[in-house]
């Protein structure tokens, strides 16, 4: 594994301790000048589960109760927000509550946290479009804008539904997640193993409209973070359903992701098909997600040789992240990874720390070295 894993984890703990002092109820989202302090967002965003998730990983790693206490503070904030917004909060209820309330229940057995995660799963299910067989990504459920849109990111929200069904929630939660995964496989995956970022359906008839993108360079380009979501998301779908199509989709996504990397490159560009001349902006968060996804894929493989291939590539990505993108607290960088890219087309967070990049980096390290994971 990474040569100085102990030092990497020590730095992660130090970074968390440094950040706990000022986050309060504000959620680290994307840094500004590598400072989360400057880039904090008080409102609940799609990323609001990553910091409590990171805290739960640290709690599971070292047992320090301060991490659990701070994670619960975030959970309470999310709970209050859910009461106000319900199903109108968006499809990222999976990111938000699987990594907070579900993680709380996983590591402490807190029954109130379990009920909160089940409630969030119920709200997520209300975003399901029966005719189209998909979970609506964005917008309030009584509005028309984006009413028929799905995005590849949502594959990472499905574990909340799968888990809830297993935990005594309605059996239809499993069926909703299963059908959305099949819809995503049918319409987001291209023949060559790359993925569209978005796809639109007619929300009334369920008929297809066509693909698009929100954060990629173009409709037909391969947004690197989206490809990473596909690797991990379909591996998790296979984990919960054991449907071979999902395992094969994760494999194809992984093979294509690795094929698109140039030479010894391990940190991908923000989009594999970015314009010529735009060679400088990378996305460390995509590499962190891909590493965690490859490790999950390795765990789901029945073939030891296949598992070894995926795990080896994951380790190389973690080594590159350590060597090229690890934050320096001595330089005032308030995170785990630099060179994350949030939303290049909108000019947001092009070369910064990202809360999701930090989370998946730590998850990959702990998954590989200690078997600790929330997913």
Other C-beta atoms lying within 10 Å of the C-beta of residue 61? 18
Which helix (H) or strand (E) is 368 found in, with range? helix 355-370
Distances (CA, A) of 362 to 15, 50, 61, 99, 291: 11, 11, 11, 13, 11
Query: 189 in the Ramachandran plot: left (φ > 0), alpha (ψ -120 to 50) or beta?
Result: beta
Q: What is the pLDDT of residue 363?
A: 96
For residue 113, the enclosing domain spans: 5-370
Q: d(Cα 4, Cα 328) in Å, to the nearest integer?
A: 15
216-258 per-position pLDDT tens digit:
999 999 999 999 999 999 999 999 999 999 999 999 999 999 9
Q: What is the pLDDT of residue 10?
A: 79
Assess if residue 154 is contained within a domain.
yes
Assess if residue 375 is contained within a domain.
no
Total number of domains in the chain: 1
120-154 per-position pLDDT tens digit:
999 999 999 999 999 999 999 999 999 999 999 99
Among all residues, which ones are annotated catalytic?
Answer: 92, 153
Provide the β-strand partners of residue 211. 199
Does the annotation list 84 as a binding residue? Answer: no
**φ/ψ (deg, to 5) at 83:** -60, -35
pTM of the model: 0.96
Judged on CB neighbours under 10 Å (0-12, 13-18, 19+), 331 is: exposed
Q: What is the pLDDT of residue 23?
A: 62
8 A C-beta contact, residue 289 and residue 228: yes
Q: What is the pLDDT of residue 21?
A: 65
Q: What is the pLDDT of residue 2?
A: 52
Assess if residue 343 is contained within a domain.
yes
- Tokens at 361, concatenated: 């980096």
Assess if residue 73 is contained within a domain.
yes
- Tokens at 212, concatenated: 């698009």
Q: What is the pLDDT of residue 268?
A: 97
Q: What is the pLDDT of residue 24?
A: 57
Does the annotation list 92 as a binding residue? Answer: yes
8 A C-beta contact, residue 297 and residue 314: no
Q: d(Cα 101, Cα 164) in Å, to the nearest integer?
A: 12
Does the annotation list 213 as a binding residue? Answer: yes
Does the annotation list 225 as a binding residue? Answer: yes
CATH number of domain containing 140: 1.50.10.10
Q: What is the pLDDT of residue 329?
A: 79
Does the annotation list 153 as a binding residue? Answer: yes
Q: Which residues of the chain have pLDDT under 70?
A: 1-4, 21-25, 42, 277-279
Assess if residue 106 is contained within a domain.
yes
* Residues counted in the chain: 375
């Amino acid at each position: 594994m990474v040569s100085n894993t102990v030092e990497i984890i020590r730095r992660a703990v130090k970074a968390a301790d440094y950040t706990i002092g000022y986050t309060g109820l504000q959620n680290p989202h994307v840094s500004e000048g590598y400072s989360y302090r400057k880039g904090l967002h008080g409102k609940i965003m799609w990323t609001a589960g990553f910091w409590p998730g990171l805290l739960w990983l640290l709690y599971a790693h070292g047992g320090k109760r301060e991490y659990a206490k701070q994670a619960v503070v975030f959970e309470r904030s999310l709970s209050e927000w859910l009461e106000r917004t319900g199903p109108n909060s968006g499809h990222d209820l999976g990111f938000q509550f699987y990594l907070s309330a579900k993680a709380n229940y996983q590591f402490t057995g807190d029954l109130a946290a379990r009920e909160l995660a089940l409630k969030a799963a119920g709200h997520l299910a209300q975003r399901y479009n029966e005719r189209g067989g998909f979970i609506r990504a964005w917008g309030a459920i009584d509005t028309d804008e984006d009413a028929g849109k799905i995005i590849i990111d949502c594959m990472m929200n499905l574990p909340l539904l799968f888990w809830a069904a297993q935990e005594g929630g309605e059996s239809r939660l499993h069926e909703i997640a299963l059908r959305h995964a099949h819809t995503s496989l049918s319409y987001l995956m291209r023949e060559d193993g790359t993925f569209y970022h978005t796809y639109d359906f007619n929300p009334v008839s369920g008929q297809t409209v066509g693909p698009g993108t929100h954060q990629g360079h173009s409709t037909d380009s391969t947004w690197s973070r989206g490809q990473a979501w596909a690797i991990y998301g379909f591996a998790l779908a296979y984990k919960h359903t054991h449907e071979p199509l999902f395992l094969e989709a994760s494999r194809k996504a992984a093979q294509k992701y690795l094929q698109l990397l140039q030479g010894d490159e391990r940190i991908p560009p923000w989009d594999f098909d970015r314009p010529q001349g735009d060679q400088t902006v990378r996305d460390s968060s995509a590499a962190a997600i891909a590493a965690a996804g490859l490790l999950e894929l390795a765990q789901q493989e029945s073939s030891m040789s296949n598992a070894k291939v995926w795990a080896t590539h994951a380790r190389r990505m973690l080594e590159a992240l350590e060597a090229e993108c690890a934050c320096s607290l001595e330089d005032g960088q308030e995170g785990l990874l630099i060179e994350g890219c949030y939303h290049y087309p909108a000019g947001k967070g092009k070369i910064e720390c990202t809360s999701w990049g930090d989370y998946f980096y730590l998850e990959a390290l702990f998954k590989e070295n200690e078997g600790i994971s929330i997913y």
